[in-house]
Structure 1
């Protein structure tokens, strides 16, 4: 049996730092300095690394806790959603708004699905999969690259594309594809319970 540690253990402290870094990320991103983009990107990247690190330490040090299990995914979704909102505002284009909408909608859907499955005692069926982990890495990489470069616009209001921006958009769309794929995978895993509930309603 795994030993449950108090709330203030090292993995949970790292997760709390990730949550507290969100307003700092927003502040740094909007600072009127030429280095603010790169600084915001590095802050977001550091948050992504702590996401992996706190999970690793929780398993390695045997310091799992219900609080950590709750807060870790919440912290991830909060910082991703906030970063996407900022990027949509700065880029102001449907090419970024659409994948951002899909990613945020997926996170809400899967979170609700996991909560519902947990109430049925079937949480393990929709646990984070390998595909979900690949999605997360691709998504974090794309957002980091997008944060690092505020777009420049033509006189007509169109974004001036460059190789790094093309790469960033490409990775974001790849992450969006993984996002939809993983959501369908989770919904298929939960389908027996969803259909059973529907047939009794």
Structure 2
């Protein structure tokens, strides 16, 4: 067990804490939940950076890191869908969660064929992740109808558009292998 793996595990431990904070009926719970999500987002970047910098990449970390990321984002988006109770937030949330399922399955399938490199994380994915994390942070911190929450919603739409774009790029890269299997 190394520090990058511990940071990844911390993200998973943060998930039930985020849920509890989200539902606490206090004035301070949402800012603290937003802070916890911000900390989780930072550990998402930091664990990968440290693993590469310190040459501490492990199979366990390679498996758990994307799982932790997807769980944290999916849970946060599900909480926000309930809180905002609006199709305007539900649509980009579904696009983001749906894409994660499709790309995870695609990466697993391509790995079985020895072609995982064709669907490796791209710069679009990194920008999408950054926008997604900023949007979720804003939407947790500010209540529905607040002007800053509207900015968060617009940012979430930007992330959803990049989500679709990156999914199309990954599917195009994998299409020659997918179409042979039909």
TM-score, scaled relative to structure 2: 0.98
Aligned residues: 182
In the alignment, structure 1 residue 169 sits paired with structure 2 residue 181: no
Matched, 1:137 2:113: no
Equivalence map 1:76-95=2 (5 Å)? 76-95=69-88
Q: TM-score by structure 1 length?
A: 0.89
Deviation at 1:86, TM superposition (A): 0.4
Counterpart among 79, 85, 91 of residue 98 in structure 1: 91
Per-residue CA deviation, residues 106-144 of structure 1 (Å, 9 max, x unaligned), is 000000000000000000110000000000000000000
Give how far 1:22 is off.
0.2
What is the rounded CA distance, in whole Å, between the counterparts of 1:116 and 1:122 in structure 2?
9
Specify the alignment match of 2:59 in structure 1.
66
Helix, strand or coil at the partner of 2:181: helix
**Bigger proportion of residues as helix:** 2
Q: Tell me, in whole angstroms, the C-alpha distance in 2 between the residues paired with 1:71 and 1:40.
A: 23
Specify the structure having the higher radius of gyration (Cα): 1
Structural RMSD (CA) = 0.7
The structure 1 segments of at least 4 consecutive aligned residues displaced by more than 6 Å after TM superposition are none
- Name the structure 2 match of 1:155: none
Unaligned runs of 5+ in 1: 1-7, 152-160
